[in-house]
Amino acid sequence: MRERANRTTIRRVAREAGVSVTTVSNYLNGRHSQMSAATRERVREAIERLGYHPNHVARSLATRRTATIGLIISELTNALYPPVILGAEAACRQAQYSLLLANAPDAGSERRAVELMRRKQVDGLILFSVSFIDIANDHLLRAHEEGVPIVVINRTMPEGAPIPRVVLDNFRGAYLATRHLVELGHRRIAHIAGPSNRFTGLDRRAGYLAALAEAGLESDPRLVVEGDYSFESGYQGMRTLLDHRPSAVFVGGDAMALGALRAIRDSGLRVPDDLSLVAFGNPDFVHYATPALTTVDLPIVEAGQIAVELLLERIAVPETPEETRVLQPGLLVRESAIPLA
Amino acid sequence: MRERANRTTIRRVAREAGVSVTTVSNYLNGRHSQMSAATRERVREAIERLGYHPNHVARSLATRRTATIGLIISELTNALYPPVILGAEAACRQAQYSLLLANAPDAGSERRAVELMRRKQVDGLILFSVSFIDIANDHLLRAHEEGVPIVVINRTMPEGAPIPRVVLDNFRGAYLATRHLVELGHRRIAHIAGPSNRFTGLDRRAGYLAALAEAGLESDPRLVVEGDYSFESGYQGMRTLLDHRPSAVFVGGDAMALGALRAIRDSGLRVPDDLSLVAFGNPDFVHYATPALTTVDLPIVEAGQIAVELLLERIAVPETPEETRVLQPGLLVRESAIPLA
DNA sequence: TAGGATATCTGTACCGGTTTAGTGAAACGG
DNA sequence: CCGTTTCACTAAACCGGTACAGATATCCTA
């Protein structure tokens, strides 16, 4: 390891092939047109013989492009992050980009992650954020201003912020879930809401209320409790709700739904016979529960993919205007919600 | 964007501070000792005034170190990969390294991923593999020979291969699970095994048999069925097993365990009252099932962390000898296995 | 046959850091 | 008082690519 292996660089290849480095560089970058067939073959052969592979770091320094994008994830209890990675990684790979991943559990580490990735010269940044409504954005706006393409997923931004976003239509999803229960004949429909300092919590609650209103159902405040997206808060919330005898419940989060399911079981009732339940979140997560939970299906893999696509557009054409992409959730009807007896 | 913003480089900082670039470089790299307090302060101030941040790509080119490691994951049905990422990312971040992530669903894409990351000059590579016993390793051995530090998690390697590995003791985990059932008084203990072209499947099956043998129980071949780690294969496997009336079943995978649970329910039996069940895999995944499944707990987050640690050791001291780190699983006793009535 | 086009290829300055070898002045030691 | 160290600092080569601005040779055209 000590002795310098006299690495094979583009200059060595050039010498071996008896051409200039420019010619080798042209060959590597597919500018075959201005090259005779003979030269092309000699370069190819020299590369082959030396087992040469170009150094991306050097290339990046010269071109100022790294073909790498940064994905910063603030996860905290977030079962949604693996599908986002999946979607983003697939889209990157397809476009011949690499993914630099960082976890940013708090505001400070998010700042550090953005800073580090900028120094590493990523071509763009994606932030998949936790849905707090009072999240800090100044570092993102600054980075944007200094020319770093950014896309955010699931994040509140000040009105008119010039940063493209991918958002999931939480309102609509909650509306669909609740309407489904209405259509099954339920009238006393409860809701376990997410925290009110999260826009996901607020939007889903609003969607729930809208569906009730549309159906001409009065909303009983005692039928809404607030959780924190944890299994335990779902369990506790459901225990509280059971006192007020709902016939169905829309739970605004997947872990909470499993908690609610458990609470219902523990009180001797059965889903869906005694009580219908609709969940919200990662559809895989609740698929294998018993009974399989009817759930709002968030297109999370797509969110990751689309975020990458939006970003790549901005990288290619920096002037591309800001844009908000709203992804529509679906409803996966499974076994946990049935018509009111 | 067109006009060149005359970026702030180390040379600009040097000019601004009235010192040489070497001095600025020394300052940046903490070689404060050979610098007068006055100079130090002038450099600090110039950096501050210009808002200078060093370019990591240029640094990497010069030092041949990128402070980045590559994590290549072959996932295919693998619910274990998010915790690995979690552990690896945390260990990286702590050591001031970044994580370059790639998905490699098949052998070809694994080769390409390794190649790409080598060109991007990662300081080392971690492969988290699917457990096929006949996996190709030549590209890893070659990379290793050419000086790229590599660590593999959960991968078979030829005897004596000089590549450090992190392995989970599947045999031991299966043994613990089965012994637990034996100790609860069960005698007809069935097993839903993983595929026999995966060492996880083979090792777990062996651990199961060993525990039976130790307890002096005869192993009835009809009480062992083979699945493919999917929910459906667990469901089908359990249906087959029910014909032979086991009092307990050890299921060698988490998704299969949920499938088995469903099959048991569907046939009108209850867990754990009529049949005890122990699962194996990602403990979170089966925690919220009803009943909460007793399961073998694989230390997957740790596997990611330790892989990074092993790798960083090799990066720091390339001659560090090969080493296999065997991680011991635990048994999480929850509700799905009870004493034989 | 001069003058331009075209095709093919090259020399070298960059990208923005690190690092080696070395300079000049002050401090030290006998 | 002179040679040696130490201290604080610098000039310039280097990492390994890209790309601009030509250089030649060949061909075409008027």
Q: How is A244-271 classified by DSSP, letter by letter? A: T--SEEEESSHHHHHHHHHHHHHTT--T
Looking only at Cα atoms, what is the longest distance across chain B?
A: 86
Residue A248 β-bridge partners: A189, A276
pLDDT band at A2 (very low <50, low <70, confident <90, very high): very low
Q: Is B158 part of a structural domain of the chain?
A: yes
Closest by alpha carbon to A143, among A215, A74, A70, A73? A70
Helix (H) or strand (E) segment spanning residue A134? none
Q: A281 and A202: one domain?
A: yes
Joined tokens for residue A66: 């790294």
Q: Is B275 part of a structural domain of the chain?
A: yes
Q: Is A280 part of a structural domain of the chain?
A: yes
pLDDT band at A185 (very low <50, low <70, confident <90, very high): very high
Q: How far is the CA of B3 from the C1' of D22 (A)?
A: 25
Q: What are A273-313's pLDDT values in tens digits?
A: 999 999 998 878 888 888 999 999 999 999 999 999 999 99
Give yes or no for A332 touching B (CB within 8 A): no
Give helix B10-17 / helix B37-50 axis angle, nearest 10°. 120
Q: A208 and A279: one domain?
A: yes
**Which nucleotide has the least CA–C1' distance to A34?**
C8
Which single residue is written with the structure tokens 């009065």? A218
Q: A28 and A100: one domain?
A: no
Q: Which residue has the higher pLDDT, A9 or B5?
A: A9
Q: B147 and B192: one domain?
A: no
Q: B189 and B294: one domain?
A: yes
- Residues A120 and A63: their CA atoms lie apart, in Å, by 14
Does residue A1 register a pLDDT over 80? no
Give yes or no for A123 touching B (CB within 8 A): no
Q: How far is the CA of A264 from the C1' of D12 (A)?
A: 77
Q: How far is the CA of A39 from the C1' of C9 (A)?
A: 10
Minimum distance, in Å, between the CA of residue B140 and any CA atom of chain A: 16
Q: B292 and B303: one domain?
A: no
Q: B291 and B321: one domain?
A: no
Give yes or no for A269 touching B (CB within 8 A): no
Coil, helix or strand at residue B123: coil
Q: B280 and B203: one domain?
A: yes
Q: B80 and B195: one domain?
A: no
Minimum distance, in Å, between the CA of residue A32 and any CA atom of chain B: 22
* Among A56, A102, A120, beta carbon nearest to B89: A102
Q: Is B4 part of a structural domain of the chain?
A: no
Q: A245 and A143: one domain?
A: no
> Which pLDDT value is given to residue A6?
67
Q: Are B157 and B311 in contact, with CB atoms under 8 Å apart?
A: no
Count of the separate structural domains present in chain A: 3
Q: Are A178 and A213 in contact, with CB atoms under 8 Å apart?
A: no
Q: Are B97 and B69 in contact, with CB atoms under 8 Å apart?
A: yes
The strand order across the sheet containing A224-226 reads A224-226, A189-193, A248-251, A276-281, A294-297, A330-332
Minimum distance, in Å, between the CA of residue B100 and any CA atom of chain A: 5
Q: What are A22-64's pLDDT values in tens digits?
A: 999 999 999 887 889 999 999 999 999 999 999 999 999 999 9
Is B66's CB within 8 Å of A57's CB? yes
Give yes or no for A139 touching B (CB within 8 A): no
Residue nearest to nucleotide C13 (CA to C1'): A62
> Which pLDDT value is given to residue A284?
80
Q: Is B339 part of a structural domain of the chain?
A: no
Q: The domain spanning residue B45 has which CATH number?
A: 1.10.260.40
Q: A284 and A319: one domain?
A: no
> Which pLDDT value is given to residue A5?
52
Does residue A3 register a pLDDT over 60? no
Kindly list the residues from chain A whose CB atom is less than 8 angstroms away from the CB atom of residue B102: 89, 93, 98-99
Cβ within 8 Å of residue A92, ≥6 positions away: A69, A98, A99, A308
Does residue A260 register a pLDDT over 70? yes
> Which pLDDT value is given to residue A223?
98
- Residues B253 and B260: their CA atoms lie apart, in Å, by 10
Q: Is A336 part of a structural domain of the chain?
A: no
Instruction: Give me the domain span that covers residue A231.
Output: 170-298
**Which nucleotide has the least CA–C1' distance to A11?**
D16
Q: Is B284 part of a structural domain of the chain?
A: yes
Q: How is B255-310 classified by DSSP, letter by letter? A: HHHHHHHHHHHHTT--TTTT-EEEEEE-HHHHHTSSSPPEEEE--HHHHHHHHHHH
Kindly list the residues from chain A whose CB atom is less than 8 angstroms away from the CB atom of residue B53: 115, 118-119
Residue nearest to nucleotide D16 (CA to C1'): A58
Residue B264 one-letter amino acid: I
Is A101's CB within 8 Å of B101's CB? yes
Q: The domain spanning residue B113 has which CATH number?
A: 3.40.50.2300
**Which nucleotide has the least CA–C1' distance to A21?**
C10
Angstrom CA distances, A103 to A131, A251, B36, B179, stand at 15, 28, 39, 39
Q: Is B333 part of a structural domain of the chain?
A: no
> Which pLDDT value is given to residue B3?
36
Q: How far is the CA of A53 from the C1' of C6 (A)?
A: 33
Give yes or no for B138 touching A (CB within 8 A): no
Kindly list the residues from chain B whose CB atom is less than 8 angstroms away from the CB atom of residue A139: none
Pairing of strands A98-103, A68-73: parallel
- Residues A126 and A88: their CA atoms lie apart, in Å, by 9
Minimum distance, in Å, between the CA of residue B217 and any CA atom of chain A: 33
- Residues A134 and A155: their CA atoms lie apart, in Å, by 10
Q: B209 and B262: one domain?
A: yes
> Which pLDDT value is given to residue B288?
85
Protein contacts of strand D with Cβ less than 7 Å away: A 7, 9-11, 21-22, 25, 28-29, 52, 54-55, 58-59, 61-63; B 18-23, 26, 33-36, 38-40, 58, 61-62, 64
> Which pLDDT value is given to residue B75?
77
What are the residue ranges in chain B where pLDDT is below 70?
1-6, 76-77
Positions in chain C where some atom is under 7 Å from a protein CB: 7-12, 14-21
* Among A121, A147, A319, beta carbon nearest to B55: A121
Residue A98 β-bridge partners: A68
Is A120's CB within 8 Å of B57's CB? yes
Q: How is A268-329 classified by DSSP, letter by letter? A: T--TTTT-EEEEEE-HHHHHTSSSPPEEEE--HHHHHHHHHHHHHHHHH-TTPPP-EEEEPP
